[in-house]
Structure formats: structure tokens, C-alpha cells
């Protein structure tokens, strides 16, 4: 799209909103940026945008902010389609996209898009490290921290742009086409936003909708719901599996990671070369291997990248050992499936810290996990009582309730004995108490270090 002289409303002034407003303004659009939060919430950003000629309106969505003369509305991914300005734009037939769609239109570099219910950040980061080891000069961005619009014009055609993508972002795409797209897994998540599992899967599958025959689709062969998409995709399917050997793809054989391509088996590394814990992280490593191999990384470079990878912050992150007790930060586990993956990574007893935003989950699926792995639980946030009830059903006799992460750490430390692990794996989003899972995780780490 030629944005010269176009009227664009950017709805939501977080990092990606400010970045796409700048990008559109640079290319001649008349941009209005609007957010219901007060102007003071954004520091110097509104003034900086104002100096560029971008109109910034904060403190609500005034009457007329969506008008028939709008050419495009770019929404923050987290704003639901039920929001009044979005409904008004839909009624007027105004195109609605997310920042990812706009950024893609200015991309010179081929894009690797990575999505899934769990493991996106780990897989995206590891893919970047492997491609770096291969000398392919990747740039990592997207849902992982740096908005695509911030860096898209800086990435050269001979580099790879590796993007972590959420279902929220993908739902607002139209022409977006990654050269390599990866769907790691599908679990019940964000149904308060999407409504149904079918709508959630449809949003995820938009990653592949514009791929052509020479593009690659990396899929989790262990999940029927993921593989059901394979028949409708145009790109070359290159799957991965931790459970079975594949005719084509990445799998485990004789305690080694194997890439099978064009009938040839290529060993990558031994399983004991992988420094990060858990079966879910093995799945992430296999996915990153499939992606990196498809991008041209050699087996040696893939092995080097895997061996040097220590994990990502807030994802089963080792924090400290104190008095024979190890402390792990898994604040990024914002649903029950992610918490299950973390908890089952431990063979020793776990003192679990869990709880947060109540999205209506009953946590019944955690009961068998609690029975086998959790010796004590400290709950907090809106969902504290629900998690405590699940723990009680699981026979966890030692249960506490805390009013903050700091208090939870103190209680957990007193409950833990030598050989135990204290694990923050909330199974919930953070927004009832903290602004992000990052803030929650850093408070946890600070509390551990200052005990």
C-alpha cells in the first residue's frame, strides 16, 4: 500500500503502536495515535510523536475518532474486536490490521515467523542464536520485545528477520508471508479473546495463508490438531517430532537429534548436549533445528547454537541455590499447559508458587501434575483459591496464600527443604497484580536474591 496522504488511525500507544505510527508517518501517512490511557502513562513518547507531526489523543476514544475518511486502522494486538472503535471501523468497512501487517510491507529481508501456544520465545531466541552461529546475521523481533516496525527497514535482504508472533498479531494480517513459518503447538489459550478453539486455530493458521510452494511450513508432527492443517498449506511441510521417526523432518533417534532430508539422515547433536531442561524444551530445540536447517544453517552451526544456549529469561530460568534449595523463574507460564511443562521437568519435590489473573480456568488438568510433583503450594492473585482447591484435590497438604510475590518467596523458602526446588510457574497471566510477566519474574528474582 502507498501510504502517501492516507489517513491512518493507530489504536493503542504501546511500543508497537508508537513504532508503526513513526513508520507510517515517515512514508507520508496522516497519522492519529489514540489510547484510552492517560498521556502521562507513556512518558515522552506522545511529545516525540507530536514533534513528527503525529496527532496523539489519550485518555479515551473521543466521538468521531473513527470516521468514514479513514483509510486504515492499525490496532494494538491486545485490543479485542468487540471494542467500540473497532466495531465502528468494521461497520464502515475500514480495513483493520495489526502492526505486523504494516511492517511486512516494508520488509526487504526474508521472514521466519514462529507461533504456538507455548515455547515461542525459547524457540525464536534459539533460532536466532543458531543462525548467528551459522553466520546468517539474523535479527530477532516481534512479540519477543522489539516491534517489527522499529527495525524492519534496517534489516538487509541478505539477512533473516526472525519474528515471534502471537495469535492476536496474526489475526490482523492480510498479505503477511513468511518464507519459513513454524507452528509449535496448539493448546487452549486466549479463548476469552478468540471465543472458541476453532477461532484461535484459525488465527494461528493465518501464518501460512500466503505461503507459496518454495516456502517452508514447520509443524509439530506430534499434535494432530497441528498436522490437520498440513493438507491445506501451499508450502513444503518440514515437521518435527519427539515421539516418532519421520520420513522427512527432525526427530530423535538413538539419543541424538536427526535431520532427515531427501532420504538422508544427518546427525545434529546428542540429547545430553542440550543445556536446557524438560521435554518441552526438547520440542523447542527440534523446532528450532528444523527452522534453522530450512534457512540454510549447517548441522555443525545448529549444534554450536544449541550447545551454547542457556535459555531465556522467565522461562524455567535458574535463579539461585540457597541452603540446598534451587529457585527457578518460570513467570512466562501464563496457562496451565505451560505450567505443566515446567513442573514435570523436575524429578525432585517442587514447592510451587502459582496464581494470577482469573480467566475462568478451573485448573483440573493440573491435579495429576500436583499429585506427582508438588509437595507444597503458595497461591496468589485472583485465581489463588481455584489453584488451592485443585491442590487440595491432588492431596497437597501444605498450602499457603500470599499477597505478593515477595511474601510468596518467603513462605516457599520456609516450606522448602534441602533437595527441593522452589518454582514460580503461575499458570496465569500477571495483569491482576503486575503489568507483565516480566515484571512479575523480576520481582521474584529480586526477592530470591535478597532473602
> From start to end of 36-184, where are the E strands?
55-58, 72-75, 96-98, 111-115, 138-142, 160-164, 180-183
Say how many CA atoms lie within 13 Å of 88 toward its Cβ: 18
In angstroms, rounded to a whole number, what is the distance separating the alpha carbons of residues 266 and 299? 8
From 205, 147, 196, 200, select the one nearest 176 (Cα to Cα): 205
Pairing of strands 216-219, 138-142: unpaired
Q: Are 409 and 300 in contact (CB under 8 A)?
A: no
The Cα 73–Cα 56 span in angstroms is 15
Nearest to 161 by CA among 132, 146, 179, 140: 140
The distance from CA 193 to its chain's CA centroid, rounded to whole angstroms, is 16
Asked if residues 36 and 61 have their Cβ atoms less than 8 Å apart, the reply is yes
According to DSSP, the residues that pair with 423 across neighbouring strands are: 328, 352
Here the cell at position 426 is: 503461575
What beta strand segments (E) does 211-263 contain?
Answer: 216-219, 236-237, 249-253, 256-261
- Determine whether 397 is exposed, middle or buried from the number of CB atoms within 10 Å of its CB (0-12, 13-18, 19+): exposed
- Compute the distance between CA of residue 172 and CA of residue 122 in angstroms, rounded to an integer: 24
- Tally Cβ neighbours within 10 Å of residue 410: 15
**Torsions phi, psi for 130 (to 5 deg):** -65, -45
Contacts of 31 (CB under 8 A, 6+ apart): 8, 9, 10, 21, 24, 25, 54, 55
- Which set of grid coordinates corresponds to residue 263? 532420504
Edge to edge, what strands does the sheet with 72-75 contain?
A: 55-58, 30-35, 7-11, 72-75, 96-98
Q: How many C-beta neighbours within 10 Å does residue 161 have? A: 26
Is 117 annotated among the ligand-binding residues?
A: yes
> Would the annotation count 122 as a binding residue?
yes
Annotated binding site for ATP: 116-122
Annotated binding site: 116-122
Amino acid at each position: 500500500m502507498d501510504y502517501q496522504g492516507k489517513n491512518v488511525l493507530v489504536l493503542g500507544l504501546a511500543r508497537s503502536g508508537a513504532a508503526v505510527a513513526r513508520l507510517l508517518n515517515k512514508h507520508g501517512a496522516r497519522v492519529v495515535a489514540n489510547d484510552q490511557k492517560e498521556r502521562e502513562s507513556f512518558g515522552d513518547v506522545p511529545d516525540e510523536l507530536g514533534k513528527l507531526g503525529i496527532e496523539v489523543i489519550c485518555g479515551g476514544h473521543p466521538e468521531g475518532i473513527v470516521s468514514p475518511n479513514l483509510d486504515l486502522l492499525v490496532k494494538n494486538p491486545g485490543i479485542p474486536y468487540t471494542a467500540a472503535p473497532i466495531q465502528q471501523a468494521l461497520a464502515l468497512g475500514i480495513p483493520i490490521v495489526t502492526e505486523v501487517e504494516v511492517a511486512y510491507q516494508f520488509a526487504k529481508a526474508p521472514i521466519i515467523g514462529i507461533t504456538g501456544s507455548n515455547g515461542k520465545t525459547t524457540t525464536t531466541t534459539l533460532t536466532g542464536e543458531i543462525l548467528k552461529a551459522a553466520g546468517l546475521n539474523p535479527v530477532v523481533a516481534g512479540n519477543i520485545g522489539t516491534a517489527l516496525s522499529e527495525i524492519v527497514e534496517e534489516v538487509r535482504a541478505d539477512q533473516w528477520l526472525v519474528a515471534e508472533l502471537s495469535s492476536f498479531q496474526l489475526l490482523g494480517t492480510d498479505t503477511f508471508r513468511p518464507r519459513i513459518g513454524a507452528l509449535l503447538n496448539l493448546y487452549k489459550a486466549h479463548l476469552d479473546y478468540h471465543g472458541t478453539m476453532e477461532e484461535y486455530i484459525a488465527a494461528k493458521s493465518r501464518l501460512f495463508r500466503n505461503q507459496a510452494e518454495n516456502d517452508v511450513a514447520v509443524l509439530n508432527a506430534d499434535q494432530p490438531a497441528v498436522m490437520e492443517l498440513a493438507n491445506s498449506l501451499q508450502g513444503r511441510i518440514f515437521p518435527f517430532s519427539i515421539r516418532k521417526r519421520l520420513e522427512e523432518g527432525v526427530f530423535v533417534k538413538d539419543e541424538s537429534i536427526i535431520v532427515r532430508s531427501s532420504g538422508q539422515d544427518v546427525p545434529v547433536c546428542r540429547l545430553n548436549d542440550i543445556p536446557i531442561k524438560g521435554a518441552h524444551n526438547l520440542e523447542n530445540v527440534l523446532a528450532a533445528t528444523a527452522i534453522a536447517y530450512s534457512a540454510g544453517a549447517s548441522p555443525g552451526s545448529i549444534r554450536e547454537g544449541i550447545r551454547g544456549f542457556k535459555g531465556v529469561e522467565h522461562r524455567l530460568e535458574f535463579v539461585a541455590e540457597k541452603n540446598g534449595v534451587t529457585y527457578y523463574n518460570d513467570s512466562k507460564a501464563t496457562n496451565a499447559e505451560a505450567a505443566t511443562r515446567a513442573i514435570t521437568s523436575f524429578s525432585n519435590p517442587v514447592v510451587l508458587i502459582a496464581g494470577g489473573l482469573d480467566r475462568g480456568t478451573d485448573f483440573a488438568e493440573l491435579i495429576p501434575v500436583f499429585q506427582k510433583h508438588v509437595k507444597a503450594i503458595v497461591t496468589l492473585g485472583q485465581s489463588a483459591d481455584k489453584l488451592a482447591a485443585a491442590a487440595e484435590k491432588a492431596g497437597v497438604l501444605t498450602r499457603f496464600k500470599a499477597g505478593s510475590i515477595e511474601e510468596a518467596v518467603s513462605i516457599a523458602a520456609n516450606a522448602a527443604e534441602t533437595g527441593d526446588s522452589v518454582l514460580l510457574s503461575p499458570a496465569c497471566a500477571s495483569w491482576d497484580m503486575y503489568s507483565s510477566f516480566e515484571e512479575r519474574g523480576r520481582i521474584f528474582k529480586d526477592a530470591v536474591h535478597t532473602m
